[in-house]
Amino acid sequence: MAALRVAVLVLLGLGCAAAAVPLVIWHGMGDSCCNPQSMGYIKKIVENKIPGIYVLSLKIGSNLIQDMENSFFMNVNDQVTEVCSQLAQDPHLKGGYNAMGFSQGGQFLRAVAQRCPSPPMLNLISIGGQHQGSVYGFPRCPGESSHICDWIRKTLDLGAYTQAVQEHLVQAEYWHNPLKEEDYRKSSIFLADINQERGINETYKKNLMALKKFVMVKFLNDTMVDPPISEWFGFYESGQAKETIPLKETLLYTEDRLGLQEMDKAGKLVFLGVQGDHLHFSEEWFYTTILPFLQ
């Protein structure tokens, strides 16, 4: 009788597709959770291709305007805390989820992986994220936010590493000036922390290494991220702003401060390159290259 019961359960299972792993999306600078031309569109095409999937596009604030403004002016550490709370309270995510961050949303979701292991993040996909810092020079700005970016650029040039700017300007918190490395390590309240630049937080390392895959997408013709190799965890060689070094030549990797070397050897790191400027990619590329990590 027990054998018959098992056989029936197996047969019933054959007719049931496994539930899709939920997906959490975090937008980039100057964007919002539900813009029909960006995150709203991504949410829609994922839902169309993976029937039944639950997709949460993160909103920081009570409305879309606040969400967009917070991408410029809300302390990143506070944003990460808010997101961790949202994820912990969402019953759809209790069994784990995949995460996909666009531009600065990539490094912000990495902070979530490192700081908030429950519910568990399974795979992290960073599309144009600046994991060693960026906007050194802040060359341009998305959409209709150029006036905001003009002001930000001037503010960063005057005092990116002052406490007031660090506390209230998102881009300052991952502003990495290779000519002022000591100031950066001492004063960066976000990036220097999650990149283990002031000491080793073993919990950060353990939590990141729990990922099944950490996928990093670099835009090969990027004119916004400086240097573009930051999207693959590389950066300028210290003390100058011309020559860059890849991840494997950084102290972060050689000393394995974050577990990336061990993850790399285990086949957990995936480096993808796509032709195009920052966040410019085709729907076909997204379907063929990114969707497999979500299924």
- Catalytic residue positions, numbered: 103, 222, 278
* Max Cα distance, the chain (Å): 78
> And the tokens for 94?
């209790």
Q: How far apart are CA 198 and CA 190, in angstroms?
A: 11
> And the tokens for 287?
């379907």
Q: How far apart are CA 66 and CA 154, in angstroms?
A: 23
Q: Are the C-beta atoms of residues 62 and 138 closer than 8 Å to each other?
A: no
List Cβ neighbours of 210 (8 Å cut-off, separation of 6 or more): 113, 117, 120, 121
Is residue 30 exposed (0-12), middle (13-18) or buried (19+ Cβ within 10 Å)? buried
> And the tokens for 40?
């709203």
Q: Are the C-beta atoms of residues 142 and 30 closer than 8 Å to each other?
A: yes
Within 159-268, strands assigned E span: 213-219, 235-236, 244-245
